[in-house]
Amino acid sequence: MNTARAELGAVRLEELRFDNRYGRLPPAFYTRLAPTPLPNPYLVAFNPAAAELIGLAPEEAARADFAEIFCGNRLLPGSDPLAAIYAGHQFGVFVPQLGDGRAILLGEAAGAQGRWDLQLKGAGQTPYSRMGDGRAVLRSSIREYLASEAMHALGIPTTRALAIVGSDAPVIRENVESAAVLTRMAPSHVRFGTFELFSSRRQHEHVGTLADHVIEQHYPQLREAREPYLELLRMVIARTAKLIAQWQAVGFCHGVMNTDNMSILGLTIDYGPYGFIEAFDRGHICNHSDDSGRYAYNMQPRVAHWNLYCLAEALLPLIEVEAAQSALEAYEAQYEQHYLALMRAKLGFATEQPDDAALLQDTLKLLHDAHADYTIFFRCLGDFDSAPDAANAALRELFADGAAYAAWAGRYRARLALEAGADAERKARMDRVNPKFVLRNYLAETAIRKAADERDYAEIERLMRVLSRPYDEQPAMQAYAEPAPPWAAALAVSCSS
Ligand code: AMP
Ligand code: MG
C-alpha cells in the first residue's frame, strides 16, 4: 500500500520509509546524535523533482511543520540521525580525521527510484566540527541547491537537493549572515576519505567492512566478482574519469577537490566555491582561497587522478599493489576518451577524424586568447553556416582578433565538410549537448541577494526552472543566457560557507 503510494509520489512525511544501513555499520563509522535545534525556521526552497525520487507528495511542502522537520527540529519516525567520520587530503595534506562537521544523516528514504540518503547540511555541531559552528549560511545553501540541480539537468552525476530551510539565527563568517539547512540527497555520501580514515589508522577490518558495504549497496554487480575490491577500484576510477570529463566539457570547476569531497559513486559532491567557466581561461581558479591554483580548471583531471591514488592506497589492505597500479594507469586513457567524445559532440562532429584532438586544442586556444564566453561560444557554434561565403557574424563577434578567428573558422569549415549531415541536423545535435543556460555566478548571486536582503525566494524558483531545461531555447528567458554584467566582476567565492 505504502509502496504503491510511494511510487505515485503520494506519501506523507510520516509515511516515508526510513532505513539507515550506514547506521548498522560498526560504531567506529559514525556518531549517533540529534540535530541542534534552529530557532524559528522557515521554508526557503522546495524541489518537487527531488521529492519525487522518494515518493514524497509535493503538497507536503505546504505543511506548517515542514520547516521544523527539514532543519532537524522535529525528527521523522524511523530516522536514525548520525554524523559520519572520514579523513582526507585537503590541498594535498593528509588530515587524519575529518567527518560530517555540520551534516547529519537522517537515514535512507526508499522511494520508487531506489534509496536516498537524506542529509541535513548545517544541522549543528558534531564531534567532527573541529573549530566550526556546525552551521551553513543561506548564501552557500542556495548555491549548493541551484548548482546540484543544474548539474543534474545537464546530465552530470551529482548529489541532489530537496529543500532549504532558513532561520534568522546569525552565523558569523567574514560578515554576519543568516543560517540555513540544506537537505541533500544521494544514494551514498561515502567519500574517498572514508576509506582513507580506516586505512591510515590501520583498521584493516573496517576498510573491508566499508568496501563490502559499498559493493553490497551500490555496486551489486560486483558481489560475485572474482576480485571484488579491485573491481570496485576500477569502477570508481571509470566513474571518476567520466565525471571529470563531463566537468571539463561543460566548464565546471569544483574548487575544492580534496579527497573528502570525492564521492565513491562518482557524483559531484560538496558544492562550495565552485564556478562555471564564463570568459574562457584554461587556468581559471574559481576558489578565491586557492592561492596556488591547485584546483584550477585545467588541473582537475590530474587532481582526480591523484585523488584516485589516495583511494587506491587506502584499499591496499584489500588489493595487490601491482593490480592497483595498473588499474590507476587506465585512468588517463579513459578520461581522454570521454573528454574527446564529449568535445567532438560539442563541436558538432558525428565522425572521428585523426586531427580532431589538435583542432580541439586550437579551438580552446582561440577561446583562451580571446577570453570568449565558453557557453555562448559553443551554443553559438551550433548556428555555424558552413557555406564558404557565410559571415557567421554572431560567432565572429566573440573574437577581437579577426584574423585568428578567420583562420580557425576556415579549418572548422573544412572539418565540417568531412561530415555527412546538413547544417540543420548538426545544429539539432549540438543544441542537445551545448547548454544555453548554466549557473553563472552572477545569476546565483542575484537570487542570493533577493533571498537574503528581501526574503524574496521567487528568483531561486525562477532560476531553478530555467536551469532545469539547460538545452532548450527558452526565448523568454534569454536574459539568463547573457554574460555577466559589470557589477559581477567584483564577485569572489571562497571556502567560507
Ligand atoms: P568542505 O571543504 O566544505 O567540504 O569542509 C571540510 C570539512 O570541514 C568537512 O569535514 C566539514 O564537515 C567541515 N566543516 C565545514 N564547515 C563547517 C562548519 N561551519 N562547522 C563545522 N564543520 C564544518
Ligand atoms: Mg566536504
DSSP 8-state class, residue 175: S
Give the pLDDT score at 112. Answer: 78
Determine the pLDDT at residue 5: 74
Between 18-22, 59-63, 332-336, the lowest mean confidence (pLDDT) is in: 18-22
Alpha carbons 53 and 111: distance in angstroms, whole number: 6
Cβ of 272 closer than 6 Å to ligand 1, yes or no, is yes
Distance 427 CA to ligand 1 centre (A): 44
Please compute the mean of the pLDDT values over residues 217-244 and round it to a whole number: 98
pLDDT 10s digits, 116-133: 999 999 999 999 999 999
- Considering the entire predicted model, what is its pTM? 0.98
> Could you report the per-residue pLDDT of 284-331, keeping only the tens digit for each?
999 999 999 999 999 999 999 999 999 999 999 999 999 999 999 999
Cβ atoms within 10 A of the Cβ of 294, count?
16
pLDDT bracket for residue 84 (50, 70, 90): very high
Give all strands (DSSP E) within 436-480, no chain letters: none
Q: Among this protein's residues, is 401 annotated catalytic?
A: no
Query: Are 436 and 472 within 8 A, CB to CB?
Result: yes
Q: Which ligand is nearest to the Cα of residue 262, counting in written order? A: 2
User: DSSP state, 370?
Assistant: H
For the cut 90, the answer to whether the pLDDT of residue 332 exceeds it is yes
CA distances to 57, 110, 185 from 5, in Å: 9, 12, 20
Q: Is the pLDDT score of 496 beyond 50?
A: yes
- Say what the pLDDT of residue 3 is: 64
Q: Please name the residue whose Cα sits nearest to atom 14 of ligand 1.
A: 101
- How are beta strands 17-19 and 103-111 bridged, if at all? antiparallel
Helix/strand/coil for 482: coil
Write the single-letter amino acid at 388: P
DSSP annotation of 385 = -
Alpha carbon 336 to chain centroid, angstroms: 20
- Rg value, the chain, Cα: 23
Instruction: Decide whether any atom of ligand 1 lies within 6 Å of the 132 Cβ.
Output: yes
The predicted model gives 258-277 an average pLDDT of: 98
**DSSP state string for 142-153:** HHHHHHHHHHHH
Which stretches of 271-401 are DSSP H helices?
A: 300-314, 321-347, 356-370, 374-381, 393-396
Task: Retrieve residue 306's grid coordinates.
Answer: 591523484
What pLDDT shows up at residue 164?
Answer: 98
In a mutational test of the pocket of ligand 1, which residue from 82, 128, 274, 288 has the highest number of ligand atoms less than 8 Å from its CB?
128
Integer angstrom CA distances of residue 65 from 56, 57, 288, 399, 456: 15, 15, 38, 54, 21
pLDDT at 82: 98
- pLDDT tens figures, 175-204: 999 999 999 999 999 999 999 999 999 999
- CB of residue 434 inside a 6 A radius of ligand 1: no
> Residue 306's CB: how many other CB atoms inside 10 A?
15
Identified catalytic residue from 80, 100, 117, 260: 260
Find out whether the beta carbon of 127 lies less than 6 Å from any atom of ligand 1. Answer: no
**Which neighbouring-strand residues pair with 11?**
56
Give the bridge partners for 82, in sequence order.
32, 105
H-helix or E-strand spanning residue 293: none
88 lines ligand 1 (CB under 6 A): no
Instruction: Give the pLDDT score at 2.
Output: 60
Q: How close is the Cα of 368 to the center of ligand 1, in Å?
A: 34
Q: Is the pLDDT of residue 257 over 90?
A: yes
Please tell me the chain's helix, strand, coil percentages from 3-state DSSP, rounded to the nearest 5.
45, 15, 35
Indicate the burial class of 412 (C-beta count within 10 angstroms; 0-12, 13-18, 19 or more): buried
Residue 99 Cα: closest atom of ligand 1 = 10
Ligand 1 binding pocket mutation candidate from 38, 104, 129, 287 (most atoms within 8 A of CB): 129
pLDDT tens digits for 19-35?
A: 999 999 999 999 999 99
Asked if the model's pLDDT at residue 437 lies above 90, the reply is yes
**With the C-alpha atoms ordered 201, 207, 213, 215, is the resulting torsion angle positive or negative?**
positive
Give the closest residue (by CA) to ligand 1 atom 8. 101
Looking at this protein, which amino acid is placed at residue 347? Answer: L
Nearest ligand to the C-alpha atom of residue 144: 1
* pLDDT at 1 (0 to 100): 44
> End-to-end alpha-carbon separation of the chain, Å?
42
Q: Where are the domains of the chain?
A: 3-189, 193-341, 348-431
pLDDT of residue 6 exceeding 80: no
Please report the pLDDT score of residue 494 as a whole number.
85
Question: Helices in 129-227 by DSSP H: which ranges?
Answer: 138-154, 192-200, 204-218
Query: How far, in Å, is the centroid of ligand 2 from the Cα of 261?
Result: 5
pLDDT in tens, 368-412: 999 999 999 999 999 999 999 999 999 999 999 999 999 999 999
Q: What are phi and psi of 264, to 5 degrees?
A: -70, -15
Q: In terms of pLDDT, which residue wins out, 227 or 5? A: 227
**Cα atoms found within 13 Å of the Cα of residue 456, Cβ hemisphere only:** 10
Q: What are phi and psi of 428, to 5 degrees?
A: -60, -40
